[in-house]
Structure 1
């Protein structure tokens, strides 16, 4: 391999007559004047005089071809492989044409590929185009993972990609971008598995109920870990919720605002501020709202006095006096409109029906203190409401601990932690404000100082708040098709235009990692996960299994009454039960399907046509 054509300090062309080049391959250039230089392949092509194509001009630069002839390459007879190589570090002078080029050993490029040993970082996959370095790998990097390719499990075939998570202290937050089927959720699963291996406290908001790590994949035990004691799945409304008595007025406004998709009006906020009292329970606050609503409907003191005179029981009289008190509240705050009151009451009751105000967040805190990953599951709308309260409480507990420690005051320890969101554009949308977006933005900008970090996954980076996107110092980009999303990725990363063109065609599980921690973009293949999702089953296979189960169960009933003549269908219905076939037409279709599936046969006999045992 040699340098050919006109060169400069940044880019060169490298040619070979024996071996094709791979995109993102690292090469060593031996320049006699400047010594050892390192470069990365950014474009590849091959040239053959008799099989050339005209794509955007010449397939190979004319100067390169002339240089090849001068170097002794028989370009008129052989296929020549050509690579455009960008130097990792800009050279002082243009690279000398004719300089020898070779594949490096691992020690020569270790600083470019790995910065931390596997036991101290996240082993996320294999760096693409590093297969030639496998034989020179240090033992500490050998045989650390498996890949899943072409339907088969394959052993590690290159340099492992190890993310230095401790460097997030300087370069915080991770973004995971990719369209449906790109491997985005799979990549997030792998990241969370690695985080659990290091016992880093983490909270995951899971709207799809898929981040369960109890089901092992088909990996050998050498490459897999049992995570059952390292995570906890908690469902909103069943395991965790919001303790209403702990809410201050601001928290309550934020929660009800989240339930209204961020559309709480000023008058609605005024209703809450006027009626909410310290240490209110849900029942006392709801009762106060209902009383004021009823007082509105009654209208004046004369009607209330009349009701008081007509009241017959002590309890009824107390309730009417409460109505009178509520009417006084309305007089003092006449800016409370009935529509706003009804809006607050309706949203509050809906939250209660969703189970938001059951239990508390103590199980989340306890698991974080134990170094576990907590999976918070619930519908996206409920998660949006709950996340505002949960994130605020956890973040300010950590912040209060760090601030107290800084002041030299004693404080109860609360650990640093990671917050991971799937479908994060729903929690921090671009273009409008939501309560959850406000706290996420604060963490994105200031969380590093307090040891709170974000992992935000989304199919639509263009819909994620721009301020938050800009704070994601590491971005893992899977296959992305939409032009608007690709434009955002190009703006927010150092991905080149050539790499951006490849984004719509990436294989599922392949990704570009653009990180300030690494200093350049790295192409990786995400490793095989140690666990599987409950959504991993192909829905068409699921359908086949259910239908086959249905036919097996039907056959177990029908085989007792074989043979069956079509003229005897009514009597057969009584024998097999209406749950198998409620009418003659259904029975006929079922029997025909059992024939097609090979359970029974349909034969012509001297006694007539009949369904018989096979």
Structure 2
């Protein structure tokens, strides 16, 4: 391998007549004047005399051809492989044409590609195109993971990509971008597995109910498996966790009710909450005050309420109307429509179970170094996330501020907040209940040890302030031009790499990180656990149909053979669900014939169904 063509301080062409080059491959140029120079392959091609060389003018010209001849390459007989290399560090002056090029050893690229040890970092995958370094890799970096390619499990080949989690204190927050089916959620699962391995406190907001780590990947060898059952806890909103109503301030309650129906929370509604909410209110005391005011406004005036009080039949009714008179005197001028709107929102959230619990389970997980996976519908998640993130962030912040002021406060650990579909929580162009606190954490969280992992299919829809604070970005296959433009603006991905984004294989990613100072192409490792959503829906349908007809065959096999006159008696004795009438039974018998369970023959008594197994 040699340098050919015209060179400069940033890029050169390298040629070989024996072996093709791979994209993202690291090579060393031995320049007599400049010494050893590291370069990365950013574009590859091959030339043969039967194929015109200058098809599009991008991978060379006559200068390169003349250079190849001068270097002794027989371009008229051999296939010549050509690569364009970008130098990792700019040279002082152009590289010498004819300089030898070779593959590096592991020690020569270790500082470039390895930033942490496997025990202290996140082992996320393998750096692509580093297979040639296998023979020289240190033992401690070998056999750390498996890869899943084309449905088959493959052992590690190449340098592992290990993310230095400690460096997040200086370069905080991770973004994960990629379209549907690109491997984005798979990559997030791998990151969370590695975080659990290190017992780092984490909250995962999971609106898709997929971040359960209790089921091991059945294709993985036992030596690569890890049991995460004691490392995480799934907590459902309304069942395990919720918001303790008596702890809410007027501001908290207003934010929660506003998030319940974004865009329609008005100033009069805010006024209703401010006037009716009392410190220490329970859900029921606040709801009762609203309901009594609503009823009083429907009655219409104080005189009519007093009449009802005077005609009350018992002391309970008297007490209710006395309370109604007092409430109407104080708050009767509040807009009835706003009172109804607040009551509707409040009861809707309570019906979802939002006010039936507190966040102690989440706090306990963080204190124990576990991952709390919070699950719930997206709308309720948006409401709940605002409260829980604000509460926990302020606990950590108060603890750190207290240390600076010499105050003795209960310890609260640093933690990570991770969630998918983050453009729903911090969108560009409009506010949500959680947006302000997430933006604050994005800008100031590292000072307090609170970090973000944000995943989205649509980076163009994510708030720009937050996007700019994501110092490490994993970019999976992305098709939309607007999203690719956003990625190009927010990362150091080259124009060549941006062109490849729509064609990346699922699980391949570009990792653009300030920690590495460059973009690294990585194949994400095989996850050690599996999601409940990994089964192909068409396989699921096929399996369910097979199970259904297998059970049906068990029910009818004792009735075989079945003649037309037997159908009614068979139907009466059939236990299979979904068989409602004779026509259903006939259709099911025909399906069993098609599936090979029974066979059909013609007799003098009509069509006969008999066992085929």
TM range (shorter): over 0.9
* Change in 2 beyond 3 A, CA 1:312/1:117: same
SS state of the match for residue 229, structure 1?
A: coil
The structure 1 segments of at least 4 consecutive aligned residues displaced by more than 4 Å after TM superposition are none
Q: Is the 8 A contact 2:54 2:61 kept in 1?
A: no
Aligned to 1:37: 37
After superposition, the C-alpha distances for 1:467-494 in whole angstroms (9 at most, x for unaligned) are 0000000000000000000000000000
Please say which of residues 307-316 and 170-179 is displaced more in the overlay.
307-316
* Change in 2 beyond 3 A, CA 1:16/1:53: closer
CA drift of 1:567 comes to 3.2
* Change in 2 beyond 3 A, CA 1:516/1:59: closer
Aligned to 1:224: 225
1:49 aligns with 2:49: yes
* Change in 2 beyond 3 A, CA 1:516/1:578: closer
Aligned to 1:237: 238
SS state of the match for residue 467, structure 1?
A: helix
CA drift of 1:315 comes to 1.4
Aligned to 1:293: 294
CA drift of 1:544 comes to 1.1
Aligned to 1:338: 336
Structure 2 stretches of 5 or more lacking a match?
none
CA drift of 1:42 comes to 0.6
CA drift of 1:304 comes to 1.8
Tell me how far apart the structure 1 counterparts of residues 577 and 80 of structure 2 sit (CA, whole Å): 71
After superposition, the C-alpha distances for 1:364-386 in whole angstroms (9 at most, x for unaligned) are 00110000000000010110111
Aligned to 2:280: 279
SS state of the match for residue 120, structure 1?
A: coil
Q: Is the 8 A contact 1:476 1:513 kept in 2?
A: yes
CA drift of 1:571 comes to 2.4
Tell me how far apart the structure 2 counterparts of residues 202 and 275 of structure 1 sit (CA, whole Å): 37
Aligned to 2:489: 491
Tell me how far apart the structure 1 counterparts of residues 192 and 82 of structure 2 sit (CA, whole Å): 40
Please say which of residues 374-383 and 263-272 is displaced more in the overlay.
263-272
1:180-191 → structure 2 map (5 Å cutoff) = 180-191=180-191
Tell me how far apart the structure 1 counterparts of residues 407 and 59 of structure 2 sit (CA, whole Å): 69
Aligned to 1:506: 504
Tell me how far apart the structure 1 counterparts of residues 565 and 391 of structure 2 sit (CA, whole Å): 72
Tell me how far apart the structure 2 counterparts of residues 578 and 229 of structure 1 sit (CA, whole Å): 41
After superposition, the C-alpha distances for 1:223-264 in whole angstroms (9 at most, x for unaligned) are 111000000000000011111011111110111111012531
Q: Is the 8 A contact 2:130 2:159 kept in 1?
A: yes
CA drift of 1:583 comes to 1.2
CA drift of 1:115 comes to 1.1
SS state of the match for residue 119, structure 2?
A: helix
Please say which of residues 516-525 and 583-592 is displaced more in the overlay.
583-592
Aligned to 1:169: 169
CA drift of 1:298 comes to 2.0
Q: Is the 8 A contact 1:262 1:434 kept in 2?
A: no
1:357-368 → structure 2 map (5 Å cutoff) = 357-368=355-366
Q: Is the 8 A contact 1:116 1:163 kept in 2?
A: yes
Aligned to 2:139: 139
Q: Is the 8 A contact 1:47 1:59 kept in 2?
A: no
Structure 1 stretches of 5 or more lacking a match?
none
Aligned to 2:307: 306
Tell me how far apart the structure 2 counterparts of residues 410 and 326 of structure 1 sit (CA, whole Å): 44
* Change in 2 beyond 3 A, CA 1:454/1:262: farther
CA drift of 1:577 comes to 4.8
1:546 aligns with 2:547: no
Aligned to 1:354: 352
Tell me how far apart the structure 1 counterparts of residues 33 and 577 of structure 2 sit (CA, whole Å): 87
Candidates 352, 360, 383, aligned match of 1:385: 383
Candidates 427, 430, 440, aligned match of 1:429: 427
Aligned to 2:130: 130
After superposition, the C-alpha distances for 1:76-101 in whole angstroms (9 at most, x for unaligned) are 22111111001000000100000000
Aligned to 1:396: 394
Aligned to 2:408: 410
SS state of the match for residue 358, structure 2?
A: coil
Q: Is the 8 A contact 2:564 2:606 kept in 1?
A: no
Aligned to 2:69: 69
Q: Is the 8 A contact 1:444 1:471 kept in 2?
A: yes
Q: Is the 8 A contact 2:552 2:576 kept in 1?
A: no
Q: Is the 8 A contact 2:563 2:605 kept in 1?
A: no
Tell me how far apart the structure 1 counterparts of residues 306 and 591 of structure 2 sit (CA, whole Å): 75
Tell me how far apart the structure 2 counterparts of residues 500 and 578 of structure 1 sit (CA, whole Å): 56
Q: Is the 8 A contact 1:124 1:163 kept in 2?
A: yes
Tell me how far apart the structure 2 counterparts of residues 57 and 33 of structure 1 sit (CA, whole Å): 30
Tell me how far apart the structure 1 counterparts of residues 417 and 611 of structure 2 sit (CA, whole Å): 60
TM superposition score normalised by structure 2: 0.98
SS state of the match for residue 13, structure 2?
A: strand
CA drift of 1:605 comes to 3.5
Tell me how far apart the structure 2 counterparts of residues 105 and 578 of structure 1 sit (CA, whole Å): 66
The count of aligned residue pairs is 611
